[in-house]
């Protein structure tokens, strides 16, 4: 396998090799505690062995469901929030043609709902779907999250009034807990095709379960290659935690060494707009896993060169608390050259005959050096190309590194207690039954 690589050459003027390698023994212990399932959040370590536990029968089942959806509808509305949609969206957006939403084709396209509470968004979505053939994949591990529940109620009504109650049942798939939650009860009652989110896999680690795999397969992508990439990365990291070999160990140690030097904001950088939602997935993974007990590296992101014209100034000259983690893609999938122009009024003939990707590569190199000179350390993660296999590797790599990092910080990387605070207030404000005391208190504040 060609493995993704982590290079720390461009952080060494900020942290020494010793400052990084001092994390080695700690990482060895954390790795063992993940294997033995003894660390914090030990009930949510299913993602660790997941790639090699996915059976042929399971993949075939997901592929067949995907084929059936693809043969029936032009759109699949994925309803979910946080870990229940970001993994699928990250992979689908990375792999799809950037303009497929505007192309006439027989491909089934993925739409998203339940990831916000905007009346305008939902109203526009329903209007768009009025004359479209569509199916729904509703995803909620807990089965009780408000945003997807509201969206599902609306879309279910819409679909039922369009195609009839019985036909709608065959166009709805539910992905939820194996026994708990309102969605499970509804799915059983209505006899929807259902997939389970394994008990020991939390939302943000669930992209390699049906939560991610089904929408990705419906979008027409190769889930076997995705799983294979993750499986290879797992096998590669499993028996060797040394930073020379295990990229997740090297990345986790490096970012924690940088944190100890005051670099407490990490920006995940790409030079391909295809990776924009991969960054969103990564932000959630690291934000929810590390940001607790007043600890954690703040995960941010930027899409270059686009954001060099918005965030570039701050990164270059603002407060020196940012380090960058660059996902560098070695080759583009397409080939297009800068054309020669007789008049050369724009002065671009010096680039004539050069690949656009070559120009992009020089922008990447130039940016890294400029930021380095400005005091911004840069960890570089190189992948060969943006495809299913490489994304599978990256996903597993980031998950494993996130677990190591969370443990190094001393937090439980698999819970998200802080997410409840806004829900509690929202329920109190909405006067949800059972929240009467909180309602009385919260309304005193207005
Ligand atoms: O990572 C997580 O656990 C969360 O982001 C959840 O995925 C998110 O809150 C949605 O939860 P649920 O799938 O229970 O609706």
Print burial letters for 218-231: b (CB count within 10 Å at least 16), e (below 16): bbbbbbbebbbbbb
Calculate how far, in angstroms, residue 239's C-alpha sits from the geometric centre of ligand 1.
31
In angstroms, the Cα distances linking 140 to 32, 67, 171, 340, 357 are 31, 22, 17, 53, 39
The parts of the chain modelled with pLDDT lower than 70 are 1
pLDDT reported for residue 241: 96
Residue nearest to atom 3 of ligand 1 (CA): 203
State how beta strands 193-196 and 172-176 pair.
parallel
Which residue of 114, 142, 282 sits with most ligand 1 atoms within 8 Å of its CB, as the best mutation to test the pocket? 142
State how beta strands 172-176 and 265-270 pair.
unpaired
Burial class, 36, CB count within 10 angstroms (exposed 0-12 / middle 13-18 / buried 19+):
exposed
Distance CA 323, CA 345 (A): 39
pTM listed for this prediction: 0.97
Percentages helix, strand, coil for the chain (3-state, rounded to 5) are 55, 15, 35
**In this structure, are residues 362 and 400 in contact, taking their beta carbons and an 8 Å threshold?**
no
What domains are defined for the chain? Answer: 5-41+226-408 (3.40.50.10490), 47-224 (3.40.50.10490)
Query: Which residue is catalytic, options 309, 342, 420, 444?
Result: 309
8-state DSSP, 337 = B
Which residue of 41, 80, 81, 85 sits with most ligand 1 atoms within 8 Å of its CB, as the best mutation to test the pocket? 81
State how beta strands 134-140 and 378-383 pair.
unpaired
Tokens 């007043």, located at residue: 294
pLDDT reported for residue 285: 98
Closest CA to 110 of 224, 225, 216: 216
The pLDDT tens digits of the residues spanning 35-55 come to 999 999 999 999 999 999 999
Catalytic residue check, 162: no
pLDDT reported for residue 380: 98
Closest CA to 41 of 290, 414, 417: 414
How many other C-beta atoms are found inside a 10 Å radius of the C-beta of residue 276? Answer: 17
Calculate how far, in angstroms, residue 141's C-alpha sits from the geometric centre of ligand 1.
7
Phi, psi dihedral angles at 151 (to 5 degrees): -65, -40
Catalytic residue check, 288: yes
Ligand 1 pocket, CB under 6 A: 81-84, 140-142, 145, 148, 202-204, 288, 416
Distance CA 304, CA 363 (A): 9
Catalytic residue check, 371: no
**DSSP 3-state of 257:** helix
């Amino acid at each position: 396998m060609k493995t993704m690589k982590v290079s720390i050459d461009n952080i060494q003027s900020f942290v020494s090799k010793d400052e990084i390698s001092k994390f080695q023994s700690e990482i060895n212990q954390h790795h063992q505690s993940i294997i033995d399932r003894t660390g914090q959040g030990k009930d949510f370590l299913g993602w660790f062995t997941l790639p090699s536990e996915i059976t042929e029968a399971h993949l075939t089942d997901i592929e067949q469901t995907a084929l059936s959806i693809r043969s029936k509808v032009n759109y699949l509305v994925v309803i979910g929030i946080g870990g229940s949609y970001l993994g699928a969206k990250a992979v689908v957006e990375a792999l799809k043609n950037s303009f497929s939403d505007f192309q006439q084709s027989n491909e089934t396209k993925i739409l998203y709902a339940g990831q916000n509470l905007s009346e305008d968004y939902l109203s526009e979505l329903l209007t768009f779907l009025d004359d479209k053939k569509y199916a729904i994949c509703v995803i909620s591990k807990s089965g009780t999250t408000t945003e997807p529940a509201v969206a599902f109620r609306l879309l279910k009504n819409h679909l039922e009034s369009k195609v009839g109650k019985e036909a709608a049942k065959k166009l709805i798939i539910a992905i939820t807990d194996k026994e708990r939650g309102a969605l499970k009860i509804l799915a059983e009652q209505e006899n929807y095709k259902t997939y389970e989110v394994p008990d020991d896999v939390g939302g943000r680690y669930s992209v390699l379960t049906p939560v991610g795999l089904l929408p990705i397969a419906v979008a027409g992508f190769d889930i076997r290659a995705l799983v294979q990439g993750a499986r290879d990365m797992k096998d590669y990291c499993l028996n060797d935690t040394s930073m020379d070999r295990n990229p997740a160990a090297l990345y986790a140690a490096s970012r924690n060494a940088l944190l100890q030097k005051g670099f407490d904001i990490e920006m995940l950088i790409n030079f391909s707009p295809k990776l924009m939602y991969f960054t969103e997935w990564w932000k959630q993974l690291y934000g929810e896993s590390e940001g607790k007990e007043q600890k954690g590296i703040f995960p941010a992101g930027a899409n270059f060169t686009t954001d060099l014209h918005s965030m570039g100034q701050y990164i270059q000259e603002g407060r020196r608390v940012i380090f960058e983690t660059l996902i560098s893609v070695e080759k583009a999938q397409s080939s297009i050259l800068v054309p020669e122009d007789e008049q050369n009024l724009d002065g671009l003939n010096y680039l004539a005959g050069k690949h656009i990707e070559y120009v992009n590569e020089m922008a990447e190199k130039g940016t890294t050096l400029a930021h380095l000179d400005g005091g911004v350390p840069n960890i570089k993660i190189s992948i060969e190309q943006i495809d299913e296999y490489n994304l599978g590797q990256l996903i597993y790599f980031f998950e494993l590194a996130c677990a190591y990092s969370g443990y190094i910080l001393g937090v439980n990387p698999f819970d998200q207690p802080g997410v409840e605070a806004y829900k509690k207030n929202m329920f109190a404000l909405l006067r949800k039954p059972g929240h009467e005391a909180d309602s009385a208190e919260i309304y005193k504040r207005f």
